[in-house]
Amino acid sequence: MTLLPFRSLICLLLPLGFAAAPAAAATACLRSDSGATPVERDDGTTNLCTPRFVSIKSGSAMLRAGPGDRFPILWEYRRAGLPMEVLQEYEIWRKVRDPAGVVGWMQKALLTRQRTAIITGQTRLLYVSPDVKSRIAWRIAPGAVVMVTLCEDMWCRVSRDGRSGYILREHMWGTYRREKIEG
């Protein structure tokens, strides 16, 4: 099998109708955990990277079939803090994926940069330190939403209702593998 250099591949794809990415897409994006202030452009999009995780701001948020009020509502979420993954931006709309894998569009005003995660699988153990040999701090049920305050390697520090502890990253949805989060 012969591997073509990247430029050769682009030259092959352009005649087939694949357009080159706009120049704006070539600029570096801002990681949502960088602490820097994101820039909102005139069209409502930002310089934040996609994909990225966010959460639902209030107790009611509509997921639509497309980026606009004229598109039908697919789902109404009634859970503030539920993590969502932003896949794309279009003006004031964000294409998002929920923890169950449902994809649709939400207005950006319904979302916040606050990092949360949802516990997956079965009842999980949270530890006092990032080590399975450390003391168990508490147990948490699947489906519980937690605030993510710190993630390094395979561990995250989370909190809920005044309690905190460390959980294995693979036991929740709302962070990327090896993503570093400092809160």
Provide the mean pLDDT of the chain: 86
Least confident of 10-14, 27-31, 113-117, 158-162: 10-14
How far is it, in rounded angstroms, from Cα 117 to Cα 180? 14
Domains of the chain: 28-114 (2.30.30.40), 117-182 (2.30.30.40)
Tell me what pLDDT residue 20 has. Answer: 35
Q: 54: closest CA among 131, 104, 135, 113?
A: 113
- The average pLDDT across 43-69 equals 95
This model's pTM is above 0.85: no
CA distances from 86 to 9, 20, 98, 168 (A): 29, 23, 9, 23
